[in-house]
Amino acid sequence: MANSTVTECKEYLFKVLVIGELGVGKTSLIKRYVHQLFSQHYRATIGVDFALKVINWDSKTLVRLQLWDIAGQERFGSMTRVYYREAVGAFIVFDMTRGSTFEAVSKWKHDLDSKVKLPNGRPIPVVLLANKCDQKKDSNGDNSSNMDQFCKESGFLGWFETSAKVKFQHHNGWKKNESL
Ligand code: GTP
Ligand code: MG
């Protein structure tokens, strides 16, 4: 009986979109997630950028996330249908300090749902990200039960407050990132 000692490693590749209005921090979030870096400097993305995040899920599973960083200005262009193709998940990002970027969230969601579906015909799963939570919220900022309700009504899996600038440390509150 040959008892193989070679452990099989399964690999998955997932295409994930990151969309939302101009300057909300899509590129910054991706840079933070993939390279642990942050820059104050704003350079608008032109068209689309890509990043790969490799996750050692467990000893037998490798996940590659192919992150598609789509420029905010593309909502007015004709390319999103092409960029969205075969995506299996998405993040829609808004800037907590600019209410207009939250108002655009539904427009992005609609654009997405009308142009891409999972192979089984269902909408792709989308998570809402309220970015720049290190800064002051826009005056009538939504509280969390409103956000829960909004997600339920609009078909988001859920939402998270995020910051590409500072790291959140459990139990210790906010801490400025040392790499700044
Ligand atoms: P487009 O490519 O034009 O669609 O913009 P984007 O969504 O990729 O925004 P980008 O990541 O370039 O960030 C825009 C500006 O916001 C930059 O000056 C960033 O430094 C700043 N920024 C991004 N995320 C955060 C954050 O979490 N907190 C703070 N304070 N600033 C942020
Ligand atoms: Mg960008």
Distance 5 CA to ligand 1 centre (A): 48
Q: Which residues surround ligand 2, an ion (CB under 5 A)?
A: 27, 45
Q: How far apart are CA 146 and CA 98, in angstroms?
A: 17
Does residue 104's CB lie within 6 angstroms of at least one atom of ligand 1? no
pLDDT at 45 over 90: yes
- The encoded tokens of residue 141 equal 């900022």
CB 179 within 8 A of CB 40: no
Region 106-114: what's the mean pLDDT?
97
Q: How far apart are CA 156 and CA 38, in angstroms?
A: 27
Q: Whose CA is nearest to atom 24 of ligand 1?
A: 25
Region 24-53: what's the mean pLDDT?
97
Closest CA to 57 of 10, 106, 118: 10
pLDDT in tens, 94-107: 999 999 999 999 99
Please tell me the predicted confidence (pLDDT) of residue 8.
85
- Nearest atom within ligand 1 for CA of residue 31: 11
pLDDT in tens, 123-178: 999 999 999 999 987 755 557 899 999 999 999 999 999 999 997 655 444 444 44
Please tell me the predicted confidence (pLDDT) of residue 119.
94
> By three-state DSSP, how is residue 110 classified?
helix
- Nearest atom within ligand 1 for CA of residue 39: 20
Please tell me the predicted confidence (pLDDT) of residue 77.
85
Does residue 132's CB lie within 6 angstroms of at least one atom of ligand 1? yes
Does residue 46's CB lie within 6 angstroms of at least one atom of ligand 1? no
Can you name the residues that pair with 55 across neighbouring β-strands? Answer: 63
Where residue 37 falls among pLDDT bands split at 50, 70, 90? very high
Q: Whose CA is nearest to atom 31 of ligand 1?
A: 132
